[in-house]
Every structure is written in structure tokens, then in C-alpha cells.
């Protein structure tokens, strides 16, 4: 692994990002956040992007939080700037037009949990530990946790986690809907490979349309959201993917997207 704070690997448009500070359990400092923002500059400019997978370097942590050493001496305005940079960067990650999936391979705490929450979904290895322990440090979550966590797991469970700071294991994270799947750590790479194949093989415009429909629709009333779905569904028929996908079905062959 190189010394870049964010390691980037491209597999035919499915891009894997690795937060690469294993000695600090991949804690998010200003350098990591700036590197993620710079990576997003490149990803946002790509028309061939199909999906993004994000994980942490090493076998112990996804991301163990924002960097406590860096935050310790910050003033309130400096803390506001730090959170602002991180929030804006996570918003850009979330807004990528393709699926963004967190591969949670260990500690997923504080800013790490907030990074996972900015992804479309998350899968976890069975050694993963989740939590928003900020109150134990005398602060509250600052990278979106108080807002995205209740939207993912409901307000009561979010309040439980953000006010007690308790940590939960991967199975509890699965039960409350924080992650979609749990698997032995040794199987996480197989899952990543399978996902790379699946997301890389589906119709790219259809995948983008499906993400857009869910994301944009969630902010609208049901009637408007259903109308949005109809528009995006119809738009599929204006491109070549629909003809190829449906022809492949009729001709009993695999589609070539
Ligand atoms: N920031 C900076 N350094 C961190 C870190 C963090 N969030 N988490 C771990 N590290 C560093 C440790 O300081 C240690 O460094 P040294 O070897 O130089 O001492 C190294 O990573 C390994 O960590 P530990 O020795 O502590 O490993 P452990 O196995 O004993 O414990 C742990 C693992 C339970 C995850 C523990 O490291 C821990 O509690 N980390 C902090 C978790 C946390 O509180 N996260 C929330 C941060 S606040 C936040 O994120 C605010 C926000 O919303 C923006």
C-alpha cells in the first residue's frame, strides 16, 4: 500500500477507495479529508464511473473516527471549519451519481460511522464495531451523525447511540439497519469482488437512474416522488441500454452494457 491518505484502485469503472492511515486506525484528519475531496474532483468528472467501494487499510479498522489528536486544541471556529470541510466532502461522496458502498472491516466509530452513513449502503465484517462515542470525549458527532443516523436507523435508536456513546457489534448494526450484511472478515474481499462484477455489469445509466430516483424521491412527497420515478423510467427508453437489456433477455443471451 502506498503512502497516499486515500488509495484509489480502478476496476473498469468500479473504483475502490481505501482510507490509508492504519497506524492511527484510519482516523480522519485534515489530510485524509483533503485527499478524499481531491479524489472526488476526479471521480465527479468521470462519465465511465460505475460504482465506488470504500474501506479502511489493515484488518483492524474501517475508520476509528475523526482524528482526536488533531481536534484536541482546536478553537470553536477551527472546529466549525474542520467539520465544514468534512461535511461538504461527505455530501459530495453521497451525491456521486453511482452507488457508493462502505466495506466496514473493523472499528467504525464517530467520523467513521458518519463516513459509512454517507454511503448508500454498508456491509460489515463480523469483527466490526460501530458507535458514535463523541459524548465520551465531551463533544457531539460533527460529520453528520446526528442527522444521517436517525434517518438510517430511526430517532430512538440514534438517540440511544449518540447520547450513551455505547458501541455495538456487527450483528446489532445489522439488526437496526445500519448495515445490510455481515460476513466473516475473510469473506469481505469475495463480497467486494462479487459487487464489482454485479455493479460493473449492470446497465450504467439504469443504475444511475435507480440511485437518483431513490435519493431525490426521499426528499419529496409520495406523489411527486412517483412522478419522478415515471420520468426516470421513461428516460431509460430513450437510451440504448433498455433495447440491449430487453433484447438480450428475449434472445436468451447476456446483455452487453
Ligand atoms: N483519532 C486519532 N488517533 C486514533 C483514533 C482517533 N479517532 N483512534 C485510534 N487512534 C490511534 C491511537 O491513538 C493509537 O495511536 P498510537 O499507537 O500512536 O498510540 C492507534 O490509533 C491504535 O489505537 P489504540 O491503541 O487505542 O487501539 P485499541 O485496539 O486499544 O483501541 C479503539 C481501539 C477502541 C478504536 C480506540 O482506539 C478508540 O477508542 N479510538 C477512538 C474512537 C473514538 O472516540 N472515535 C470518535 C472520535 S470523535 C469524532 O469522530 C468526532 C466527529 O464526529 C467529527
- ipTM for this model: 0.99
CB 111 near ligand 1, within 6 Å:
yes
Residue 36: name the closest of 20, 60, 59, 12 by CA. 20
- The three cell numbers of residue 89 are 466532502
Candidates 3, 44, 59, 114; catalytic one: 114
User: Considering only CA atoms, which residue is closest to atom 13 of ligand 1?
Assistant: 24
Q: Which domains does the chain have, with CATH numbers?
A: 6-200 (3.90.226.10), 203-250 (1.10.12.10)
pTM as predicted: 0.98
**How confident is the model over 215-255, as pLDDT tens digits?**
999 999 999 999 999 999 999 999 999 999 999 999 999 99
Ligand 1 pocket: which of 20, 63, 65 to mutate (most atoms within 8 A of CB)? 65
Whether 114 is a known active-site residue: answer yes
CB atoms within 10 A of CB 126: 15
CB 37 near ligand 1, within 6 Å:
no
- CA gap 170, 180 in Å, rounded: 10
**How confident is the model over 39-64, as pLDDT tens digits?**
999 999 999 999 999 999 999 999 99
Candidates 134, 172, 189, 244; catalytic one: 134
Q: Residue 65 C-alpha to ligand 1 middle, in angstroms?
A: 7
Q: Residue 180 C-alpha to ligand 1 middle, in angstroms?
A: 25
- The three cell numbers of residue 5 are 491518505
Bridge partners, residue 107, by sequence: 61, 129
- The three cell numbers of residue 204 are 450504467
Mean pLDDT of 104-126: 98
Amino acid at each position: 500500500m502506498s503512502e497516499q491518505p486515500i488509495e484509489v484502485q480502478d476496476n473498469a469503472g468500479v473504483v475502490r477507495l481505501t482510507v490509508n492511515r492504519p497506524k492511527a486506525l484510519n482516523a480522519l484528519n485534515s489530510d485524509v479529508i483533503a485527499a478524499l475531496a481531491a479524489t472526488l474532483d476526479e471521480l465527479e468528472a468521470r462519465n465511465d464511473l460505475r460504482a465506488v467501494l470504500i474501506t479502511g487499510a489493515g484488518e483492524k479498522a474501517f475508520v476509528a473516527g475523526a482524528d482526536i489528536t488533531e481536534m484536541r486544541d482546536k478553537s470553536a471556529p477551527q472546529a466549525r471549519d474542520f467539520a465544514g470541510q468534512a461535511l461538504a466532502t461527505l455530501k459530495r461522496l453521497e451525491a456521486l451519481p453511482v452507488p457508493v458502498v462502505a466495506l466496514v472491516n473493523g472499528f467504525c466509530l464517530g467520523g467513521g460511522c458518519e463516513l459509512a452513513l454517507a454511503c448508500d449502503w454498508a456491509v460489515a465484517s463480523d469483527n466490526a464495531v460501530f458507535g458514535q462515542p463523541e459524548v465520551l470525549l465531551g463533544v457531539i458527532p460533527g460529520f453528520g451523525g446526528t442527522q444521517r443516523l436517525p434517518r438510517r436507523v430511526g430517532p430512538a435508536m440514534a438517540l440511544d447511540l449518540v447520547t450513551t456513546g455505547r458501541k455495538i457489534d456487527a450483528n446489532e448494526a445489522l439488526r437496526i439497519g445500519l448495515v445490510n450484511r455481515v460476513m466473516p472478515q475473510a469473506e469481505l474481499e469475495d463480497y467486494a469482488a462479487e459487487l464489482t462484477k454485479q455493479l460493473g455489469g449492470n446497465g450504467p445509466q439504469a443504475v444511475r437512474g435507480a440511485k437518483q430516483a431513490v435519493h431525490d424521491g426521499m426528499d419529496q412527497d409520495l406523489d411527486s416522488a412517483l412522478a419522478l420515478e415515471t420520468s426516470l423510467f421513461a428516460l431509460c427508453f430513450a437510451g440504448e441500454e433498455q433495447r440491449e437489456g430487453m433484447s438480450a433477455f428475449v434472445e436468451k443471451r447476456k446483455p452487453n452494457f
